[in-house]
Amino acid sequence: MATIPLQLAQRRLDTGSVVSYPDSSPVGAAMQGLGDELSAVAERFRQQKQQQDAFDAEVIGRELNRQIAEAEKEAIQNAPADGRGLHDAMYGQVDPHSNGVVKPGLFDTLFEGIVPKIPESQRANFIRQREALRRSGSARMAAQQYARRQDYEQAEWSKAQAAELNAIAQSNPDDTATFEAIRQSGFDFIAKMGNPVARQLAETGWRSNTAKALAQSMIANDPKRAAEMLGAAPADARLADLTPDERQAFIRQAGAAARAADGRATSD
């Protein structure tokens, strides 16, 4: 079947330099009918072309989504431990007042690279979706950066806490000034954490852990005296954050250590 060029079919019949026939004549009626048929063919062709363009735009749009997902994955993998710059590298910065792009990101590069592939009839609509895509992606990257930051702060606090607790365990349990200085240093560190929930949990844990480290130091230094101090009422204020069960467990530990020390002394 022959293909009718769109620009020809849309013109119906060009009678500018062609002999015209009265509409009432058989020839005129036939020519009119041919013109209507050509117009119908042109409309069907236009609709088909529009449908094809919409399909092709959908395929290309899905390819863009795939590229964005892959780029986000790589950005997350290559981001520094604290997540710094992750969002801006991927989605740039937008002026909240004008919604204009202040600093483009990789998303802009990917989007601009795909636009020329979009059929012209669909291009304007595709471009209008740009900022909606940016907003959804921006939320994803902001969440990833925030989570990465929280993990980083928790990991750094865990390292600092381990070092500080070890210092307490190795120190003289009677050196109250050193204990208080170490404990305050930990509180100062925790105060700089960004997540208020994590900060509160860290403070609670720090109080308990410093008391436990002190109890361990007391037992290592003098288990008999430690058992007495742990069982005294009121006990040393530095041990106030131990639960009753924890206190009893340390008393048993101190008693066992004292008996072991007595046994070694007797054998000697």
pLDDT in tens, 44-81: 877 899 999 999 999 999 999 999 999 999 999 999 99
Which of 128, 155, 182 is the endpoint of a domain?
Answer: 155
User: Does 129 reside within a domain?
Assistant: yes
Does any domain span residue 215? yes
38 falls within a domain: no
The predicted model scores a pTM of 0.74
Whether residues 150 and 176 fall in one domain: no
Instruction: Identify the three-state secondary structure at position 124.
Output: helix
Instruction: Specify whether 134 is located in the same domain as 192.
Output: no
What are 180-206's pLDDT values in tens digits? Answer: 999 999 999 999 999 999 999 999 999
Name the band, by pLDDT with cuts 50, 70 and 90, for residue 102.
confident
**For range 211-229, the mean pLDDT:** 94
Residues 81 and 119 in one domain: yes
My answer on whether 215 and 123 are in the same domain is: no
Vertex 187: Cα angle to 182 and 189 (nearest 5)? 95
Residue 8 lies in a domain: no
Average pLDDT value for residue range 81-98? 91
Q: Are residues 67 and 149 in the same domain?
A: yes
Do the beta carbons of residue 95 and residue 102 sit within 8 Å?
A: yes
List Cα–Cα distances, 39 to 23, 26, 187, in angstroms: 18, 20, 81
Within this chain, do residues 148 and 59 fall inside the same structural domain, yes or no? Answer: yes
**72 with 107: CB under 8 angstroms?**
no
Together in a domain, 145 and 241: no
> Is 106 domain-assigned?
yes
Both 146 and 55 in a single domain? yes
Residue 21 lies in a domain: no
Whether the per-residue pLDDT at 4 is higher than 50: the answer is: no
**Helical packing angle, 196-221 and 223-231, nearest 10°:** 130
Q: Give residue for tokens 């950005």.
A: 75
Last residue of a domain, one of 155, 180, 199: 155
List beta partners, residue 101.
94
Has residue 33 been placed in a domain? no
Q: How many domains does the chain have?
A: 2
Do 88 and 183 reside in the same domain of the chain? no
Residues 144 and 177 in one domain: no
Domain span at 116: 51-155
Report how far residue 30's alpha carbon sits from residue 191's, in angstroms, rounded to the nearest whole number: 90
Is pLDDT above 50 for 14?
no
Q: Is 143 found in the same domain as 85?
A: yes
Q: Report which of 78, 85, 137 is spatially closest to residue 110, judged by C-alpha positions.
A: 137
Is the residue at 41 inside a domain? Answer: no
The tokens for 174 are 């009677």
| The last residue of a domain, from among 131, 155, 179 | 155
Structure tokens at 247: 């206190």
Domain shared by 139 and 194, yes or no: no
**What pLDDT sits at residue 1?**
37
Outline where DSSP puts E strands in 28-140: 93-94, 101-103
Q: Please check the confidence at residue 85 and state whether its pLDDT lies above 50.
A: yes
Q: What is the mean pLDDT of residues 244-262?
A: 91
